[in-house]
Amino acid sequence: MKRTFVVGAATTLAGLAGYAIGVASPYPGRELSLVGIMVGITVAAVGLGGDAP
């Protein structure tokens, strides 16, 4: 696996965990978990890209 994909997947999972915790018990700054999810998905997608010729 590529390192970029792994970092993106980990960021997405951390964002999802933060979102789930925020739903159960609201805390200040919980909207940043959505940013983490979006950034994580983007980084994971970039990590799946093929090598340039």
In this structure, is residue 35 part of a structural domain? Answer: yes
In this structure, is residue 53 part of a structural domain? Answer: no
Domain that holds residue 22: 3-48
Structural domain total, the chain: 1
Q: What CA–CA distances, in Å, run from 41 to 27, 28, 37, 44? A: 23, 23, 6, 5
Which 3 state secondary structure label does DSSP give 6? helix
In this structure, is residue 8 part of a structural domain? Answer: yes
Q: Whole-prediction pTM value? A: 0.83
Task: Dump pLDDT digits (tens) for 17-47.
Answer: 999 999 999 888 889 999 999 999 999 999 8
Is it the case that residue 12 has pLDDT exceeding 90?
yes
